[in-house]
Copies of this chain bind each other. A is one copy, B any other.
């Protein structure tokens, strides 16, 4: 393809973007038109991709960070022969693969779902890390960003990460069309403003006219030949380029063109150019090699072990057994105990420093290449990455997230360090699994299990040591629970998880001494919950008392309800949870002040018995 052909291809991508949005009656054609020439040159000159084999390990990665420019992406797929023209025109309709913002859930060529701005580059860094440090098969990663989204801090977490890791296999193309949704960006067409920032973060920068295909071609070549650092191509473009009535004008974001037919004519009419995409080099997936036997650590009943320690040990063991397991941490691996993995498998450990959005994004990127990432930080700080977790679920990506220092039971550090809303956050994620172990063997077993699940898997660990309750060969299926105390005289059922399991057991013993029998359920699988056991407990005891080291909303108290939502009779429900804002205090004082220790459970049960609320 020569220069005039490239220009023509750019025009075709514009025309098809206009057509798709016109057919849909919505969408973002003007944001597609600004980047059309950038995309045309990438397709024809640089991208190496086998559309027949989207999981080819040698495929380049392409991430459309400005996901609203989806018409451009789909127009490119058409030009590459991956979809046909009639499918292009199904854009944004019910059942179409061509959604308003692209997702890999529906389209196999999409690396990661975009549409929440500032996420494409962070995930792209994860893919490039995979290529540079693990796969080593020579693929490149291309990320097309908008200029508006450079205001997101996550972009700068990613910029820092990429430069520090010398990701010269990563190129970011910024479509600087100067207009955001609501009006001009902070820096307009000042490419230098962006160049200064990227250079300061350690990047190579190239500034180009984003509508001059030869200029673009040179810039991409420079990016590819730059060693030791990532490159950003800053392209001056015009929103709505090529159609005078919309070009470079405000107030036209996210709207089909006023007169599509006229615009298509102005753009030179419909074309049907096909572009031959370069094939990727032969490559094999390194992580397809599995090691085999899993030798999980073992503990004796009664040992005092923190579940975060068990996590670190189990993950290190899992890493020895499975060559596809990788770990990431946000500069707290000595606390989360991810350091145990880091010490045994340094080549598969990724230090992400204090940048939780990048931590989760890098995990998502690694997962796109088949790795099984475990990313850890304090449970409280994973809230920082909520939007990335949400988008990972939109992608359908499988990642493991581990939040340590859950709950008020961490003690003196106070509320800023306490994860007391993490269960609510992770339960509400589509298709998530939420696990909360109370002892070391349970933790280890769940770590091994979660690695094989789909979607977002969340493990909640605790800071303090807790006695080992279970034997080394006990099984803990996801969606299960353990009944730790049971009799035919149970007056109610205490449902606990994690640290409160131990409080519940102490309470049950104290109550038994007073002649009050209670059932105790260890609800280690918070989502999905063990409906059968909860229903049986409801039928047999009539009342569920939930006790959780978490705010009252969205945690275990709400989770148990899932067993009763089909209209069946609901048991009486009583909830003990952290209702006040904690201060500093010892772990025991915190549990007591929070009303979730054994004493509080005993008092609550006695009150229910005295008031004849329970039978």
Contact = CB atoms under 8 A, between A and B. Distances in A.
B334 A181 contact: yes
A117 B355 CA distance: 9
B584 A151 contact: no
Contact of A105 (B333, B356, B581): B581
A414 B574 contact: no
A566 B98 CA distance: 49
A558 B559 CA distance: 9
Contact of A412 (B92, B417, B584): B92
A543 B67 CA distance: 43
A328 to B, nearest CB: 13
Interface string A422-442: 001101111100000000000
Given A106-B583, A353-B180, A608-B567, A413 B155 contact: no
Contacts of A383: 386-387, 390
B94 A586 contact: yes
A583 B430 contact: no
Nearest to A186: B164
A152 to B, nearest CB: 6
Interface string A212-248: 0000000000000000000000000000000000000
A473 to B, nearest CB: 33
Contacts of A428: 421, 424-425, 551, 553-555
A570 B570 contact: yes
A200 B354 CA distance: 21
A95 B425 contact: no
A471 interface: no
Nearest to A25: B412
B557 A554 contact: no
Contacts of A414: 92, 99-101, 103, 115
Nearest to A159: B156
B155 A160 contact: no
B564 A573 contact: yes
A613 interface: yes
A256 to B, nearest CB: 11
A166 interface: no
A16 interface: no
Contact of A155 (B153, B381, B570): B153
Contact of A390 (B114, B156, B393, B421): B421
Interface in A85-117: 91-96, 98-101, 103, 105-106, 113-117
A14 B157 CA distance: 33
A101 B417 contact: yes
Nearest to A567: B613
A140 interface: no
Contacts of A357: 153
B186 A197 contact: no
A342 to B, nearest CB: 9
A384 B584 contact: no
Contacts of A570: 570-573
A26 B412 contact: yes
Contacts of A106: 583
18 contacts: A95-B583, A100-B417, A103-B416, A114-B416, A115-B413, A116-B380, A151-B353, A152-B384, A153-B155, A153-B157, A199-B200, A356-B387, A393-B581, A394-B415, A543-B567, A553-B554, A564-B573, A567-B614
Interface of A: 24, 26-27, 67, 91-96, 98-101, 103, 105-106, 113-118, 148-149, 151-157, 160, 164, 180-182, 185-186, 196-197, 199-201, 331-335, 339, 353-358, 380-381, 383-384, 386-387, 390-391, 393-394, 396, 411-417, 420-421, 424-425, 427-431, 527, 543, 551-555, 557-559, 561-562, 564-575, 581, 583-586, 589, 593, 608, 611, 613-614
Given A100-B584, A116-B416, 12 more contacts: A96-B583, A99-B584, A115-B413, A153-B156, A182-B332, A390-B421, A394-B581, A420-B430, A424-B553, A424-B554, A567-B572, A567-B614
